[in-house]
Amino acid sequence: MTGQAVGPFARGGLAVLLIALICACSPSQADVDRRPDDGPRRVARLPAGAELAYGAFSHGAMSLFSIAAPQPRPRLLVQATGDASHPAWSPDGHRLVFVSNTDGRPVLRVFGLADGATADLVTHPPRSDGPLPDASGALSWSRGQGTVAFSSALAGDADVWLATTDGTGRAGLLIQGPGGQTAPAWSPDGRRLAFACTGTSGPADSDICVATERGTDVRHVTSGPTADSDPSWSPDGTRIAYSAHPTCTDRSSCLIGQIMAVVVEGGEPENLSRATDDDYSPAWSPDGSVIAFTRNAEIWLMGSDGSNQAPLVAGLWPAWRP
């Protein structure tokens, strides 16, 4: 089993630069609502009781924020001296795991909301004489297995690894192969793992694959010439939302991405966002009614059928609190 995917940092590089130029901190919904160039636009509202974590620039670095209904302004969670990205909530909603580049190397760290402390998640190298695994892209904290799935190139190409969350500080390989496996996402019941894998239409192609919790019985859920990544399960476990980017023919074509959805057991993908922009990092809300995603360096919301699309706040990589 092999795989290849477009990394969110690589795909979102232009978006990151755009945020840096626009602002030094994450704006409120009211700030996003002001459009001196073309007038006001409709702003999304979070469902009652909902909260999102996300990344945004603050004082020259990518930091982590959250925004909750009905509060209009974001709350700073992690002020990074390097970059903090790709937050993922623990099942109880009390901790966040994220990729930290504070020490010049991307590693997994955990932030506790109760005490505001951060700590490395992986502290023991897989081999006593080897380095710790780095981390890249989207993360996923399993509800049933007590592990964080992440992608690391420590063993060669990008592979799917599991890090324990019981304090032992250990991590191990789950899915390995040439080409790369990235952006793992646990199913709601913790029995399956979706991830971006190498496609069958050429080196620039990647599909969404699903495997068991043991990394076995890998099968392709999507196919075709697009670069598919960023899978996110619907709460009932029947569908997966993901981002699809066309094969690059020129620079402009690489910056257009769609949020798609596909039935896990098979079927034709549905284009939800129907965008002419760069849409990626979809995240299905816990109640299944809303999908958050990144569009042009902003967090947008839309209905699970693609309706009522509107911006929420400047930022990247939305993650719903359970």
Contact call for residues 43 and 32 (beta carbons, < 8 A): yes
Residue 277 within any structural domain of the chain: yes
pLDDT band at residue 250 using 50, 70 and 90 as cut-offs: low
Report whether pLDDT(14) > 50: no
Q: Is position 81 within any domain? A: no
State the pTM of this model: 0.85
pLDDT, tens digit, 9 for 90 and up, residues 91-102: 999 999 999 997
pLDDT at 121 over 80: yes
Cα 39 from Cα 125, distance rounded (Å): 54
**CA dist 237 to 55, 159, 240, 287, 319, Å?**
26, 24, 8, 12, 17
Is it the case that residue 273 has pLDDT exceeding 50? yes
State the burial class of residue 308 (Cβ atoms within 10 Å of its Cβ: 0-12, 13-18, 19+): exposed
Range of the domain at 158: 8-53+124-320
The answer to the question of residue 85 being in a domain is: no
For residue 102, tell me if it sits in a domain.
no
Kindly list the distances between the CA atom of residue 285 and the CA atoms of 62, 293, 322, in Å, as whole numbers in the listed order: 24, 11, 9
Q: What percent of the chain has pLDDT over 70?
A: 84
Model confidence band, residue 12 (pLDDT cutoffs 50, 70, 90): very low
Q: Which residue has the tokens 């569908």?
A: 239
Number of folded domains in the chain?
A: 1
> Rounded CA gap, 213 and 192, in Å?
5
Domain assignment of residue 119, yes or no? no
CATH code of the domain covering residue 252 = 2.120.10.30
Q: Is the residue at 35 inside a domain?
A: yes
Specify the long-range contacts of residues 197-205, CB closer than 8 Å, at least 24 apart: 197/1, 197/2, 197/3, 197/4, 197/5, 198/2, 198/3, 198/4, 199/4, 199/223, 199/224, 199/225, 199/228, 201/225, 202/247, 203/4, 204/247, 204/248, 205/4, 205/247
Q: Do 273 and 309 contact (CB within 8 A), yes or no?
A: yes
pLDDT of residue 38: 46
pLDDT exceeds 70 at position 36: no
8 Å CB contact between 206 and 220: no
CB-CB contact of 215 with 266 (8 Å): no
Structure token pair of residue 239: 């569908």
Q: Is residue 93 part of a domain?
A: no
132 backbone dihedrals φ, ψ, rounded to 5°: -75, 150
Whose CA is closest to 122, among 113, 112, 133?
133
DSSP 10-22: HHTHHHHHHHHHH
* Average pLDDT of the residues in 135-152: 93
Q: What is the DSSP letter of 304?
A: T
178, pLDDT greater than 80: no
User: For the CA atoms of the chain, what is the radius of gyration?
Assistant: 18
Q: Which of 108, 138, 150, 114 shows the shortest CA–CA distance to 7?
A: 138
Mean pLDDT of 173-177: 91
- Residue 100: inside a domain, yes or no? no
Q: How confident is the model at residue 7 (pLDDT cuts 50, 70, 90)?
A: very low
Distance CA 90, CA 140 (A): 9
Pairing of strands 192-198, 159-164: unpaired
Q: Is residue 267 predicted with pLDDT exceeding 90? A: no
Residues 6+ apart with CB under 8 A from 17: none
pLDDT at 225: 84
Q: What is the pLDDT of residue 251?
A: 58
